[in-house]
Chain A
Amino acid sequence: MNDIPRIAMKDIKISFGSIQSLRGVNLELYPGEVLGLVGDNGAGKSTLMKVLSGVHVPDSGSIVFEGNPITIHNPLEAKKLQIETVFQDLALCDTLDVASNLFLGREPVHFFHRLIDKKKMHALAKEELDRLGVVIPSTYSAVENLSGGQRQSVAIARAVTYQPKVLIMDEPTAALGVKEVRMVLNLIKKVKETGVSVILITHRLQDLFEVCDRITVLYEGKIIDNRLIKDFTMDSLINSITGEVKEAK
């Protein structure tokens, strides 16, 4: 494994009103690593990832990206760093069609960059969905007409389309069937081989043992455990998540 982390978050704190969601979190992520991020509901996993993807700006703390200290003020800056996210709440526009959702913010344009090249956009969307093995009746369907699993597939396709350096997946398999979960796990293994760093948040612990190199456990806004996967057993992981192991390594 590489020595300098792709991302190092230091002492990240954020509060919403009186709720302190993150209470000084340190997290490192290496190139080509799959990191499992676990914790009970409300532990702060999504909030931590939203800090990385520019949705929330932390109250304090610092982020170092490939050795350079940075601040991520908004989602566009995260995208420029090639940090892509599948959000837990999907963040799709229901009334826009599949292709428009896939390319939201980066539509191919023509005619002096004035108009969206719809033909190209739909062709690319179809190509990308085919490549991922996602079956959706038409790239012209409004997203509101899709099933929960199809919507999730669109959200995943959107994040992986742009060759990210860091791929954050916040419960990407929540609405998926057995076959689709397999697809996502295989996808994670595939992108990992190309050097992408992946952060996977999931409550399906068996999946973590299949794809992760390392697991970090959040508990009430703090990291309480961080070990290589081989140092965990299912039982020790569960103990960690429920806060019975207070000793962080």
Chain B
Amino acid sequence: MTQADGTMKTEKKPFKPERITSAKTTQWLSNNKQLIGIFSVLILLSVFFSFSTSSFFTTGNMLNLLQQLAPNLIVVVIMTLVITTSGIDLSVGSILSLASALIAVLLSARWDSFFAFVFVLIVGAAVGLLNGYIISYLRIPPFIVTLASMIYVEGCALLITGGYSISISGSSWLMSLGGGELFTIPVSAIIAILIIIIGWIILTQTRFGTYIIGIGANEESVRRAGVNIKKIKLFTYMFSGMIAAFAGIIIATRLGSGSSNVGTGFEMDVIAAVVLGGTSLFGGIGTMLGSVIGVFLIGIINNGLTLMNVSPYIIQIIQGAVLLFAVIVNTYFFGRNKKRN
């Protein structure tokens, strides 16, 4: 290590370049040791399931898993950004339900697939925009704002479906979003991978991402740096609504039907994945890769245990326990989730 005694010299004291490189590597390792940790758990679990059930580690099951997890992988990207600002979006599950119901209703009403698709995205973005406006301009805590949205958006979904599931038939490109394949890989999984890459670039390589982290660490500091933090938060929640709606379309086209309850509990799965991955609930620290691993961890526990014929009730108990354990480890071994002074 170079000297860290905090002195400042009046004369020049040049850095040694190779020290900086090594400090950078050390920094990366110390930032990512927990990522390496949960990734190891993921690998161990996969190995365990591969030996305990013959159907787990098959191409068919893996592709099926990927397709099932695609909506979670898409929404976890934006949820990571939201939580990194020290916010939360509880309304994504309801928006997903509403989007799936709405696309089904619009297609039944003979809307053109493209216009129905765009309209649903706009509805999602509008809900997100309203969330963002109330959170950043009226300064109401995100938890309560998005809780309210979660309730009224689900009400809207119930209203337009009457509580029934509505079957879908759209043009082929729209249906292929959820059910299609490209070289045997589900289209939804390919889209998810693209969105993950874009999300990672936004978080780590752009000004927007830097301000998202900065807002989570010290909002006032970012404001004093001359950044329009209200706009940043507004856009984050708007994208959250839009992407949740997109995930809703994907689910609806995969299932071939839309209903007001497909997204029930979805927000909790996504938030759990983000927290499992090591993003701090207090903001300022966010890891896209961690969140993706978090989704797979939850998904694989579910998939593997199901294949082992474990009761879904017990699976849910195990998932809760794993989350609790991970949060405790993250907090006490990696200093995440602890409130900074």
Contacts and interface: CB of A to CB of B under 8 A. Distances in A.
A12 to B, nearest CB: 19
A95 B216 contact: yes
Interface string A120-143: 001000100011111101111110
Interface string B178-218: 00000000000000000000000100011100100110111
A150 B205 CA distance: 25
Interface residues of B, number: 42
Contact of B23 (A132, A133, A134, A140): A140
Interface stretch (B8-16, B74-82, B261-269, B300-308): B8-16
Interface in A133-167: 133-135, 137-142, 144, 146-150, 153
A95 B210 contact: no
B60 to A, nearest CB: 39
Contacts of B216: 95
A137 B1 contact: yes
B227 A105 contact: yes
A112 B227 CA distance: 20
Interface residues of A, number: 53
B8 A133 contact: yes
B11 A115 contact: no
A216 interface: no
B11 A137 contact: no
Contacts of B9: 133, 135, 179
A234 interface: no
B6 A150 contact: yes
A104 B13 contact: no
B26 to A, nearest CB: 9
A146 B6 contact: yes
A75 B221 CA distance: 10
Choose among B3, B23, B226 the residue with the greatest number of A CB atoms under 10 Å from its CB. B226
Contacts of A85: 224
Contacts of B214: 93, 96, 100, 104
B267 to A, nearest CB: 25
Interface of A: 53, 55, 74-76, 78-79, 85, 87, 91-97, 100, 104-107, 109, 114-116, 118, 122, 126, 130-135, 137-142, 144, 146-150, 153, 177, 179-180, 182-183, 186
